[in-house]
């Protein structure tokens, strides 16, 4: 009877550990086009900022609100870093502040997390600096 109790305890503990590790696994960010909704704490939904991830070519590109950008990307697990982005040099009245904030945030990306349909790009302290869907 004592052995059966110990066996039951071991089985229960083992099953708890395996379900915990499954729930904490990071979802993989897939190649595709994403719409940037926040830069730092600012809502940029109306600005049409895009983030196009091409994992095969190790590249990210898109439109920063006015100008197109492109950068190389390194991803391993949930870590993500980018090179300094190359950008076209058009001037768009009322959009340049958002564009500067996006370029700065993109250069500060260190990792990402996914919650539901929201992808957060995080800085070195784990703060969301870019959010997209």
The full 3-state SS of the chain, as one line of letters, equals CHHHHHHHHHHHHHHHHHHHHHHCCCCCCCCEEEEEEEECCEECHHHCCEEEEECCCCEEEEECCCCEEEEEEEEECCEEEECCCEECCCCCCCCHHHHHHHHHHHHCCCEEEEECCEEEEECCCCCEEEEEC
> According to the model, what pLDDT value does residue 24 have?
46
Question: pTM for the full model?
Answer: 0.78
Q: What is the pLDDT of residue 28?
A: 86
pLDDT at position 27: 79
**pLDDT at res. 18:** 44
Ranges of residues in the chain with a pLDDT under 50 are 18-24
Per CATH, which fold does 27-132 belong to? Lipocalin (2.40.128)
């Amino acid at each position: 009877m004592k052995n059966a109790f110990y066996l039951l305890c071991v089985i229960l503990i083992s099953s708890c550990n395996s379900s915990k590790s499954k729930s904490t696994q990071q979802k993989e960010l897939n190649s595709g086009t994403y719409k940037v909704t926040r830069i730092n704490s600012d809502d940029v939904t109306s600005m049409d900022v895009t983030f196009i991830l091409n994992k095969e070519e190790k590249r990210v590109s898109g439109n920063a609100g006015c100008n197109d950008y492109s950068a190389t990307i390194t991803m391993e697990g949930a870590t993500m870093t980018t090179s300094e982005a190359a950008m076209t040099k058009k001037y768009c009245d009322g959009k340049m502040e958002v564009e500067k904030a996006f370029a700065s945030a993109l250069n500060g990306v260190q990792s990402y997390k996914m919650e539901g349909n929201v992808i957060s790009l995080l800085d070195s302290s784990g703060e969301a600096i870019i959010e997209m869907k």
